[in-house]
Amino acid sequence: MSPATTESRDLFAIADLAKEFGISTRAIRFYESKGLLAPERVGATRVFRRRDRARLILILRGKRLGFSLRDISDYLSLYDANRSQQVHLLIDKVDERLASLERQRDDLETTINELREIKKLTSEQPARSR
DNA sequence: ATTCTGACA
DNA sequence: TGTCAGTA
């Protein structure tokens, strides 16, 4: 039996990664078309290594956190390349996302409170016809 | 069977 | 991104 099901493998086919991460092969090809992935080729067939798999994980994490593929692409660039002043670029994006989420939260709270007020006033009213 | 590219939704 | 087509 294979002791390490946790893929300690070196090479992966597009279908392997798609299955492992629950995404479509179409999505993986799409990410490549956007420059987020650059798997090797054996002829025309894509061959993914651990490094590509690691990048895919980062892509999916970025998506989960609500970042655009564009932002994730920028992040990936400094991920392997020379990271230093560029790390600030990531921090900016994180701050942006944070601010966006906080704005949304504030708006939701405002709306929730308004609805609660309406409900309160309504319940104070005598039974109305309907 | 699988994958690939391109096109359309 | 899904899906379909026509290949290799």
Break chain A into its structural domains and give their ranges. 8-81, 83-123
Out of 3.40.1160.10, 1.10.420.10, 1.10.1660.10, 3.90.660.10, select the CATH number for domain A8-81: 1.10.1660.10
Q: Which nucleotide is nearest to A69 (CA to C1')?
A: C1
A15 strand B contact, CB < 7 Å: yes
* pLDDT at position A45: 95
Q: Which nucleotide is nearest to A33 (CA to C1')?
A: B5
Q: Which nucleotide is nearest to A44 (CA to C1')?
A: B4
* pLDDT at position A82: 66
Task: Answer whether residue A31 shows pLDDT above 80.
Answer: yes
d(CA A25, CA A16): 9
Q: From the CA of A88 to the C1' of C3: give the distance in Å.
A: 40
Nearest amino-acid residue to B4, taking CA and C1': A44
Nearest amino-acid residue to B3, taking CA and C1': A45
pLDDT-derived band of residue A116, with 50, 70 and 90 as boundaries?
Answer: very high
A129: exposed, middle or buried (Cβ count in 10 Å: 0-12, 13-18, 19+)? exposed
* pLDDT at position A85: 65
* Residue whose C-alpha is closest to residue A11's, from A47, A36, A45: A47
